[in-house]
């Protein structure tokens, strides 16, 4: 059986796309470009190599990567992998209908004034431009006859003009399945900047906890550490170096402030809604450096200032952990849905016999 055909929609760096490329596609070479008034398409010819086949190569084939941003590095990732690419530009549609960008936000121009219904609450030509854009986007995708569409960092709210013709694939057995990756649980941190918003929420919770617990320098401390320290003093024993290192490690032990998640779900008209396929929780940590003594090099982390205060992990570290989960989850969810598609087709064939 031929591999299922996969179209990937992106808007930025394309690290989630790269995870799919690594799982499905072999290295490639030459490229050619075709340009129309609203679209630039790049086609790359595949070359074979002696490396082992990727994990999902026999199950899925990425037939095209589409970006709504020309500068998206994901387009270069796709071209290097020999995958055809298309840049589909909303700005040109705005110019056609003489409408201005509503501001910085989703899709480089969407704000909270835009609902999933595709109706810009300000009304007028912006709504018409978006509908036209989505209709042409659908045409580009359908030309490749895909079995599955994945929004992997696609920062543009898709309207009913795009979704309605594909219905049946979402949570059904007909049409084309559409998946979306959301770096949170569904219903939490909907829309853009979900990762940083979760980190800010965790930081706020930590500050509230610290204020509520104590006003001393040692504001959050492991009760067992205190008890063991008191036992050593009462017994007239300072404890050996190993005991000290264990106590310091416990004081630097990371603590979960809250958990967020990475979700891959079936795309519906509700922003970041639909049935989840895979959900993996990701904790957000705080760290507390030892109040005294030298660092033994085995702690989980610290705040970097040596004052013993409890601090949330740096945003950059949390983002990196989230991305690593994204790369894993998007491949897992894609495989699950691809096998579901194949199973549904097999059942349909058996029913027809």
Mean pLDDT confidence for 305-310? 55
Higher pLDDT, 275 or 49: 275
pTM: 0.74
Mean pLDDT confidence for 68-92? 95
Per the prediction, the chain carries an average pLDDT of 77
Distances in Å between the Cα of 63 and the Cα atoms of 46, 121, 167 are: 12, 35, 21
Distances in Å between the Cα of 101 and the Cα atoms of 108, 181, 248 are: 9, 25, 55
Q: Has residue 131 got a pLDDT over 60? A: yes
Mean pLDDT confidence for 69-76? 96
Higher pLDDT, 254 or 142: 142
């Amino acid at each position: 059986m031929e591999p299922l055909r996969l179209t990937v929609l992106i808007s930025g760096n394309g690290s989630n796309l790269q995870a799919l490329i690594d799982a499905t596609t072999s290295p490639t070479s030459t490229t050619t470009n075709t340009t129309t008034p609203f679209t630039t398409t790049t086609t790359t010819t595949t070359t074979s190599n002696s490396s082992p086949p990727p994990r999902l190569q026999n199950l899925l084939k990425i037939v095209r990567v589409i970006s709504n941003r020309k500068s998206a590095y994901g387009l270069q990732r796709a071209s290097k992998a020999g995958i055809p690419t298309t840049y589909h530009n909303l700005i040109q549609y705005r110019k056609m209908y003489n409408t201005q960008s509503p501001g910085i936000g989703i899709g480089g121009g969407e704000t909270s004034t835009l609902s999933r219904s595709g109706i810009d609450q300000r009304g007028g030509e912006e709504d018409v431009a978006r509908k036209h854009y989505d209709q042409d986007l659908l045409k580009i995708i359908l030309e490749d006859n895909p079995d599955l569409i994945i929004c992997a960092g696609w920062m543009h709210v898709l309207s009913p003009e795009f979704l309605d013709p594909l219905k049946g694939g979402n949570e059904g057995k007909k049409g084309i399945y559409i998946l979306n990756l959301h770096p949170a649980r569904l219903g939490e941190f909907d829309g853009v900047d979900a990762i940083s918003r979760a980190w800010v929420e965790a930081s706020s919770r930590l500050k509230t906890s610290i204020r509520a617990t104590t006003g001393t320098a040692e504001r959050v401390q492991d009760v067992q550490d205190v008890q063991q320290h008191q036992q050593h003093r009462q017994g007239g024993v300072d404890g050996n170096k190993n005991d000290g290192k264990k106590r310091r490690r416990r004081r630097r032990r990371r603590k979960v402030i809250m958990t967020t998640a990475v979700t891959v779900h079936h795309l519906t008209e509700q922003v970041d809604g639909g049935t989840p396929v895979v959900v993996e929780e990701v904790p957000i940590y705080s760290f507390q450096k030892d109040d005294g003594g030298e660092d033994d090099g085995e702690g989980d982390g610290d705040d970097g200032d040596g004052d013993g205060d409890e601090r949330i992990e740096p945003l950059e570290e949390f983002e990196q952990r989230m991305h690593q989960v994204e790369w894993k989850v998007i491949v897992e969810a894609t495989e699950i849905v691809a096998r579901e598609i194949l199973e549904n087709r097999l059942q349909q064939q058996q029913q027809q016999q």
